[in-house]
């Protein structure tokens, strides 16, 4: 049924030489090319970290113009242990991140939108990861006796596998999004936007466990660092079919954890997806979309007191199905990111999956 309906939409009784159809294929190929370009970035070589990700939604360009409020809820689970990208036995190490994110967007002009993002995070860790030292360079993401030849202890737990939990305000982000290109026809729309901004170190970095020991940098609510954000989003819609691609690059400066300097590696998040409108009338009060895409996260290696941590950084790829429901001024979204590929440096936990839920109120 889907194939038959797809054919009916693409070929509404006119040949492929029709100018409208040619323009459609040109835009569709351009949007597909953006996704292919993102997929090609898989050749890049994460200890995954939840703080780096800035939730944008399935199609941010459709819900970030005018004035509106957005509530995002996301859950990230790290429960698989890897050694240089190869899955190994896990003795019970686990990390979870539960993040509630509030976003306000306001269009200063028809093309320029300012966004403020306020996240609250609950982070949890239990179990023990195994780290080692090689050639005098510490591995792992903790303190420990780095100059005595002992394994580096982790910052967030007790250094011996004790549990640790933190909750609080994370780092706030401020962004500007500018629509550089916009084309409309009776059947299609193409949008391209660039964005830039700043992540401000508003979250605490000295959270401790019940025994008074400083928690790991990845479990702290904040990073203690300013981060510079650069991104792009593109969206092409033709009748029922949509192609979306997003990318966000974060340049991270030196922060802190406890009394120590800590610097997260630069991060690159990207996703591309095809979206299909399941409901018929575009002007109907209820519109339902299904999407399927790929997403990825690349993280550079991290530093503790200017010492590079070898068991950090890498690349994770996800398969990301999702649904999106428009009802008058409300937009509901849900997507599930299943990790399907890990290329992680050294020995570290990798993400098992992420879930995203979003509710947007379009005020104007």
What CATH number is attached to the domain comprising 38?
2.40.160.40
User: What does the mean pLDDT of the chain come to?
Assistant: 79
Between CA 253 and CA 201 the distance in angstroms is 10
In a domain, 6, yes or no: no
Task: Give the total number of structural domains in the chain.
Answer: 1
**pLDDT: which is higher, 320 or 154:** 320
**d(C-alpha 173, C-alpha 205), whole Å:** 17
Residue pair 117/173 in contact (Cβ under 8 Å)? The answer is yes
Contact, 301 vs 45, CB < 8 A? no
Identify the three-state secondary structure at position 29: helix
pLDDT digits (tens, 9 = 90+) for 4-37: 333 333 333 334 444 454 455 454 444 444 443 3
pTM given for the model: 0.77
Structure tokens at 301: 């290696």
Q: Is the pLDDT of residue 48 over 70?
A: no
Confidence of residue 262 (pLDDT cuts 50, 70, 90): very high
- CA–CA distance from 6 to each of 12, 241, 276, 279 (Å)? 10, 9, 10, 13
Distance CA 70, CA 363 (A): 11
124-128: average pLDDT:
80
Separation between Cα atoms, residue 267 and residue 58, nearest integer Å: 20
| 66 within a domain of the structure (yes/no) | yes
| pLDDT over 50 (residue 86) | yes
Whether 49 has a pLDDT exceeding 60, the answer reads no
Residue bearing the bigger pLDDT, 47 or 87: 87
Sign of the four-CA dihedral 212, 167, 311, 262: negative
**Residue 198: what are its φ and ψ, rounded to 5°?**
-140, 130
Q: Which range of residues forms the domain containing residue 252? A: 12-362
Tell me which of 67-81, 107-121, 127-141, 350-364 is least confident: 127-141
Q: How confident is the model at residue 57 (pLDDT cuts 50, 70, 90)?
A: low
Whether the pLDDT of residue 275 is over 60: the answer is yes
Over range 283-300, report the average pLDDT.
92
**Is 134's pLDDT higher than 60?**
no
Structure confidence at residue 210 as a pLDDT band (50, 70, 90): confident
Whether 3 maps to a domain, the answer reads no
Residue 7 falls inside a structural domain: no
What are the φ and ψ backbone dihedral angles of 233, each rounded to 5 degrees?
-140, 140
* Model pLDDT, residue 285: 86
202 part of a folded domain: yes
SS3 for 280?
coil
For residues 86 and 345, what is the distance between their CA atoms, to the nearest angstrom? 10
């Amino acid at each position: 049924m889907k194939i038959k309906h797809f054919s009916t939409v693409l070929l509404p009784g006119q040949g492929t030489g029709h100018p409208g159809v040619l323009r459609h294929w040109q835009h569709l190929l351009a949007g597909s090319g953006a996704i292919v370009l993102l997929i090609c970035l898989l050749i890049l070589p994460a200890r995954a970290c939840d703080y780096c990700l800035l939730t944008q939604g399935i199609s941010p360009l459709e819900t970030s113009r005018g004035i509106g409020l957005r509530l995002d809820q996301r859950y990230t689970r790290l429960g698989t242990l890897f050694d240089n990208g190869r899955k190994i036995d896990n003795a019970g190490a686990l990390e979870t991140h539960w993040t509630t994110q509030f976003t306000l967007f306001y269009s200063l002009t028809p093309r320029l939108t300012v966004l403020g993002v306020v996240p609250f995070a609950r982070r949890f860790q239990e179990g023990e990861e195994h780290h080692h030292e090689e050639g005098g360079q510490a591995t792992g993401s903790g303190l420990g006796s780095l100059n005595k030849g002992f394994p580096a202890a982790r910052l967030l737990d007790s250094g011996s596998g004790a549990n640790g939990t933190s909750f609080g305000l994370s780092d706030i982000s401020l962004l500007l999004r500018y629509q550089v290109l916009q084309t409309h026809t009776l059947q299609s729309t193409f949008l391209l936007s660039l964005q830039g901004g700043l992540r401000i170190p508003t979250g605490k970095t000295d959270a401790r466990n019940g025994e008074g020991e400083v928690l790991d940098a990845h479990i702290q609510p904040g990073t203690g660092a300013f981060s510079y954000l650069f991104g792009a989003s593109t969206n092409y819609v033709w009748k029922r079919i949509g192609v979306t691609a997003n990318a966000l690059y974060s340049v991270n400066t030196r922060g802190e954890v406890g009394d120590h300097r800590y610097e997260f590696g630069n991060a690159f998040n990207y996703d591309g997806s095809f979206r299909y409108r399941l409901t018929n009338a575009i002007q109907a009060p209820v519109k339902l979309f299904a999407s399927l895409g790929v997403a990825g996260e690349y993280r550079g290696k991290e530093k503790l007191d200017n010492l590079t941590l070898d068991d950090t950084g890498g690349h994770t790829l996800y398969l990301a199905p999702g649904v999106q429901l428009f009802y008058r001024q409300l937009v509901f979204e849900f997507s599930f990111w299943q990790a399907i590929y890990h290329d992680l440096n050294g020995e570290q936990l990798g993400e098992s999956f992420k879930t995203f839920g979003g509710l947007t109120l379009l005020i104007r």
